[in-house]
């Protein structure tokens, strides 16, 4: 007599998803985004990035997170994931950090060094509108339930906070690959060298940022709302000084500041990224899948 897993394809597939949640999560996220991205850019030869296309691409991580959460934990797991969207009681410091501290680090310091403070003032009036648009129609709202909602807790549990967040940063950055076939996207050029150089630089940046995101997530009890705000602040900070944002000086200074800030977090938390605090606050709601992936 055949077992339930052998009798039909659906239970067999569910058993695979439950045994290997991380492998399946990233596979689904990549398939959704890459199938849309490479079809649109390489097969249809479009070199622009319309809003609807960006929204579709961002659905990969979050769509995969809901699929995998439903497969592993059912309706109760979906409820826990959705409640993290509205976990906003985290203390004023974290709002100051994501709304003020991060934009100042990324924009103001390089501009002060370049002696161009007036450029910041010119971008302030439209910044709130840009921020809201980026929040809902870009990576913050459409990606973070996947990266920090589904993947980060499991990677930290399996690999530890530092290695887990670094691996997530690499996979998060590499997920953007289709966009680097659009000339000019994050410095992407043409040909293998132009694309791969920009891609590798971007992955280094997302790896460092992933540590910052993990620290904020751990210190706020896994709040998706706060990491969404953080993501929006990073993505929209360039609009504070549009004439200055894409200059080589700003790009170099931004990377230097980012790496210094990341290093301070690693040293201050002794590489734990406040994960122990997260465990104390959220241990009852940690993912309890039967077996976590063996990624290394």
Q: What is the pLDDT of residue 247?
A: 65
Phi, psi of 190 (to 5 degrees): -110, 155
Rg of the Cα trace of the chain? 20
Domain locations along the chain: 4-285
In angstroms, the CA 39 to CA 181 distance is 12
b/e per residue 152-188 (b: at least 16 CB within 10 A): bbbbbbbbebbebbbbbbebbbebbbbbbbbeebebb
Note whether 94 and 226 are within 8 A (CB). yes
What is the pLDDT at residue 252?
78
What local confidence, expressed as pLDDT, does residue 251 receive? 76
Distance from C-alpha of 94 to C-alpha of 260, rounded to nearest angstrom? 19
Note the pLDDT of residue 284: 54
What is the per-residue pLDDT for 4?
A: 45
Q: Residue 217 and residue 265: Cα distance in Å, rounded?
A: 13
pLDDT score at 112: 73
Kindly give the confidence (pLDDT) of every residue in the chain, 296 residues in length, as a single tens digit, with 9 standing for 90 and above.
344 444 445 688 888 999 999 999 999 999 999 999 898 887 776 666 777 888 888 889 999 999 999 999 999 999 999 999 999 999 999 999 999 999 888 887 777 766 667 766 677 888 899 999 999 988 899 999 999 999 999 999 999 999 999 999 999 999 999 999 988 888 888 888 989 999 999 999 999 999 999 999 999 999 999 999 999 999 998 888 766 666 666 777 788 889 999 999 999 999 999 999 999 887 654 454 333 333 33
pLDDT value, residue 202: 93
* pLDDT tens per residue, range 33-70: 999 989 888 777 666 677 788 888 888 999 999 999 99
The structure tokens 């007036």 sit at 118
């Amino acid at each position: 007599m055949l077992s339930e897993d052998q009798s039909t394809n659906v239970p067999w597939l569910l058993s695979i998803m439950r045994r290997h949640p991380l492998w399946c999560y990233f596979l689904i996220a990549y398939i959704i985004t890459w199938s849309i991205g490479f079809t649109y850019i390489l097969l249809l030869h479009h070199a622009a990035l319309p809003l609807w296309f960006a929204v579709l691409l961002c659905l990969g991580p979050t769509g995969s997170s809901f699929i995998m959460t439903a497969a592993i934990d059912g309706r109760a797991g979906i409820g826990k994931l959705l409640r993290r969207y509205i976990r906003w009681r985290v203390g004023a410091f974290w709002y100051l950090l994501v709304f003020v501290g991060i934009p100042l680090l990324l924009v103001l310091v390089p501009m002060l060094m370049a002696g161009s403070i007036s450029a910041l003032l010119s971008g302030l009036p439209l910044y709130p509108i840009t921020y809201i648009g980026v929040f809902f129609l870009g990576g913050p709202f459409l990606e973070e339930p996947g990266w920090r909602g589904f993947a980060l807790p499991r990677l930290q549990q399996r690999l530890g906070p530092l290695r887990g967040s670094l691996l997530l940063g690499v996979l998060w950055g590499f997920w953007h690959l289709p966009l680097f076939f659009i000339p000019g996207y994050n410095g992407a050029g043409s040909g293998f060298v132009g694309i791969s150089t920009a891609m590798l630089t971007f992955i280094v940046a997302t790896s460092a940022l992933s540590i910052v995101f993990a620290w904020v997530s751990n210190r706020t009890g896994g709040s998706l709302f706060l990491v969404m705000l953080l993501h929006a602040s990073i993505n929209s900070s360039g609009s504070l000084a549009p004439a200055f944002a894409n200059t080589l000086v700003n790009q170099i200074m931004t990377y230097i500041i980012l790496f210094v800030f990341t290093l301070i977090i690693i040293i201050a938390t002794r590489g734990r990224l406040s994960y122990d605090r997260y465990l104390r606050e959220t241990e009852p709601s940690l993912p309890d899948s039967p077996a976590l992936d063996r990624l290394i």
